[in-house]
Structure 1
Amino acid sequence: MRGTGPTPGELLEVALAVARDAANTARSMRAEGVSGITTKSTRTDVVTAADRAVERQVVAALRAIRPQDTVLGEEYGDSGGSNRPAAPGSVRWIVDPIDGTVNYLYGLPQYAISLAAEIDGVVVAGVVRNAATGAEWTATRGDGAFRDGQRLRCSTETDLGQALVATGFGYDSGRRAHQAAVLAQLIPQVRDIRRFGAAALDLCLAAEGAVDAYYEKGLAAWDLAAGGLIAAEAGLRVAGLAGAPPGPELVIAAPPALFEPLHARLAELDAAGGP
């Protein structure tokens, strides 16, 4: 980042203000009843009026505070209106307005606003706020991760057989079948599996050691940006398979002692394969 640009701490302050207001909107709209329900990639991939409204609110707030920045959101894509490369040192915000929309639809208290700031392709600040409970996780690159002001350290578990592992599933039925086959072979070799239905929150739970590790295929940038930084800053190794960066093919977030054995097993099971 260039010396004349914003610091990660300054960007985090912006992210916090915007995400807190957005979380209030999501929670209020949930209390009024979920409406405007449509689907995206499959019949089970839902989007609500609140998803769209919250993203519009976030984009408007960011434009008011930092009009020169661009925004990449789950519902409306790239607000920059161009595929041209960003200028060096420019800021791009990455937002998931409601991560865990199915939980939101059913009234389960596991849905979050995820907002991250990226400079030159590197996420430097992020916040994930559980809109249902108010729990809040933050990180700035190089300065650690925190939950509600308390510094986070990931699990110290070293035995994969004793590891509580979180994961998630895609919306395509073929992908679900492959992921279920992987899970069926993995579960005898770990303590147990947890599936909460919100990737950003899964990464935050791994960051604080509430689960020991997490993996999933199919994450988009808005699923990973803030939560991935929080996980990494809490000491987790966050990567894909065989040296690949974390991304749609696979994300593994695990303490250093667990990463290699979990990675090896997931590679054997072709966790990045399938539809």
Structure 2
Amino acid sequence: MNTTTMQRVTESAPPHDIELLPGVTDAAQAAGARLLTLFSPHARPHDRAEMLDAIRRNEQASLVGLREALETLRPGIGWVEEEQETAPLPPGEWWVVDAVEGNVNHVHGMSDWGVSVTLMRDGMPALAVFHQPMGNFTWTAVRGAGADINGRRLKVSDKTMLDAAIVVTGQAEAGQQEANRRIANSVEHMLQHALLVRTTVPSTFPMLLIAAGQNDVFWQVETVLSGIAAGILLVEEAGGTVTCIDGSPWYPGKRDVLVAAPALHSAAVDALRTTH
């Protein structure tokens, strides 16, 4: 881990998180290295079956070593399973992991994929690492100590008007008709207010760009915790605002999320008000 980052984190983070961050970073980077050996920019699955086989291969290659490394670092911490990703978390500490965030991009030869690890503590993200092997970018955040990319401090946009904003949303899981209606409705409304409206998958990448000040607003309906936990902490520690789409507090089990540069949050809530 970058020495400057370590010095900065040491100043204000809880001691146990200070000690944990380098090991979590190493584990995420090691998983990313395994995935990189399986990556080809020329990959083009021929059909759904071939795509799903490649997705499962990637998941296994990343997860086996990653889970072992994290459980060695902190024995006894809970591990969020699939059925818990849309429900409130019990008290205590939990690992929330997406072993291949953006897996569908990986198997199609695209670059937006990575390894996401978040430590949740009593319902809030406390530590997050996202490693993006393509470009060798590692995004880290510890609650109370700021957010960084490769040791450089992150800061959200200081824009104040939605008509100058780049706003982003994502697709829900295929087949969710009500979620798709809400997404389509929200995009239509945002097209009347924002400078640019984009849709993308997975959720983590636009959230990273909000933490870096390159995007301004992101919202998502029918969220999965592993896809947003790291991004939530990175945005918050970079100075951004995180709520549900209606402006109410976000916590695990909520089915939507809105993250924004602070001065744009109220305008985003207003623009999305009829899409709840």
Same fold (TM over 0.5): yes
2:275 is the alignment partner of 1:250: no
Give the counterpart letter for 2:206 in structure 1. D
Gaps of 5+ in 1: none
Instruction: Quickly say closer, same or farther: Cα 1:188–1:118, change in 2 above 3 A.
Output: same
User: Which one of 21, 27, 30 corresponds to residue 36 of structure 2?
Assistant: 27
Partner of 1:200: 204
Using the alignment, how far apart are the partners of 2:204 and 2:81 within structure 1?
Answer: 14
* Per-residue Cα deviation, 1:103-144 (whole angstroms, up to 9, x for no partner): 112111001211011223222110111132211111000110
User: Which one of 179, 185, 192 corresponds to residue 188 of structure 1?
Assistant: 192
Instruction: Quickly say closer, same or farther: Cα 1:16–1:230, change in 2 above 3 A.
Output: same
Using the alignment, how far apart are the partners of 1:265 and 1:145 within structure 2?
Answer: 28
Using the alignment, how far apart are the partners of 2:30 and 2:125 within structure 1?
Answer: 22
Give the counterpart letter for 2:36 in structure 1. R
Using the alignment, how far apart are the partners of 1:84 and 1:250 within structure 2?
Answer: 16
Once the two structures are TM-superposed, the CA of residue 167 in structure 1 deviates from its matched residue by: 1.3
2:64 is the alignment partner of 1:64: no
Instruction: Quickly say closer, same or farther: Cα 1:196–1:132, change in 2 above 3 A.
Output: farther
The residue matched to 1:48 in structure 2 has which SS?
Answer: helix
Give the counterpart letter for 2:166 in structure 1. L
Aligned length: 253
Partner of 2:60: 52
Instruction: Quickly say closer, same or farther: Cα 1:108–1:19, change in 2 above 3 A.
Output: same
CA contact (8 A) 1:22 1:113 kept: yes
Instruction: Quickly say closer, same or farther: Cα 1:34–1:49, change in 2 above 3 A.
Output: farther
CA contact (8 A) 2:89 2:123 kept: no
CA contact (8 A) 1:38 1:47 kept: no
**TM-score normalised to structure 2 length:** 0.82
Give the counterpart letter for 2:160 in structure 1. T
Q: How does 1:1-275 map to 2 (within 5 A)?
A: 7-31=16-40, 47-74=55-82, 85=90, 90-173=92-175, 174=177, 175-240=179-244, 241-245=246-250, 248-268=254-274, 270=275, 272=276
Give the counterpart letter for 1:98 in structure 2. V
Q: What is the RMSD of the two structures over their aligned residues, measured on CA atoms?
A: 2.9
**TM-score normalised to structure 1 length:** 0.82
Once the two structures are TM-superposed, the CA of residue 85 in structure 1 deviates from its matched residue by: 5.0
CA contact (8 A) 2:141 2:233 kept: yes
Q: What is the identity percentage for the equivalent residue pairs of Structure 1 and Structure 2?
A: 24
* Per-residue Cα deviation, 1:207-233 (whole angstroms, up to 9, x for no partner): 001111111112211112111100100
The residue matched to 1:228 in structure 2 has which SS?
Answer: helix
Instruction: Quickly say closer, same or farther: Cα 1:122–1:23, change in 2 above 3 A.
Output: same
CA contact (8 A) 1:34 1:48 kept: no
Gaps of 5+ in 2: 1-13
Using the alignment, how far apart are the partners of 2:208 and 2:90 within structure 1?
Answer: 30
Q: Is 226-235 or 178-187 further displaced after alignment?
A: 178-187
The residue matched to 2:39 in structure 1 has which SS?
Answer: helix
Q: Is 154-163 or 177-186 further displaced after alignment?
A: 177-186
Using the alignment, how far apart are the partners of 2:89 and 2:150 within structure 1?
Answer: 37
The residue matched to 2:250 in structure 1 has which SS?
Answer: coil
Instruction: Quickly say closer, same or farther: Cα 1:164–1:180, change in 2 above 3 A.
Output: same
CA contact (8 A) 1:145 1:152 kept: yes
